[in-house]
Amino acid sequence: MLITTHAITGFTIGSISGNPYLASPLCFASHYIFDALPHFEVSTFRKPNEKGLLPKNFWEVFFVLIDIFVALIFLFFFRHLWSPASLAGVVFSVLPDFLDNVFLWSSYLHKLPIFQELFALHKEFHHTARGKKIFLGILTQVIIICICFAILFL
């Protein structure tokens, strides 16, 4: 799932809870729940047997940077809604991807038993939409973001 979608859902869950100590585990768990839905992401165009979620070329890195930039723009424009809980929600909703996929530390973390289990769980929940299902993967995220915006602003 896109970082932007995880960040918006985390922001929403954190805003609703109003409690960073409640939002943190809820948003961490929400990451896996939302990854279980068919979704579009950087690895969508890879072959199904291609290993790893890390960006493999310039265009994948570019795509991830754009995704992060869009998430940051969202946070900037909705800074009037910031609270400790909403910001904790953002951090914990994207944390699984940052632990698993950032090359600076992911290769080290993949060697530690506790993280091996966490990453195996991440992989098991992951449902990237490929081929003819790409539209479904995009639509899923658009619907999730619209629901979040409706909750935040209606």
Compute the average pLDDT of residues 87-102: 91
Q: State yes or no: pLDDT of 54 exceeds 70.
A: no
At 29 the pLDDT is: 96
Compute the average pLDDT of residues 72-92: 94
The amino acid present at 42, given as its one-letter code, is V
Q: What is the pLDDT of residues 112-143, one digit of tens each?
A: 888 888 888 888 888 888 888 889 999 999 99
Compute the average pLDDT of residues 26-47: 86
If pLDDT is split at 50, 70 and 90, which confidence band does 83 have? very high
* Long-range own/partner contacts, residues 67-76 (CB < 8 A, 24 or more apart): 67/2, 67/3, 67/4, 67/42, 68/3, 70/4, 71/3, 71/4, 71/7, 71/8, 74/4, 74/7, 74/8, 74/11, 75/7, 75/11
Q: Give pTM, 2 decimals.
A: 0.87
DSSP 79: G
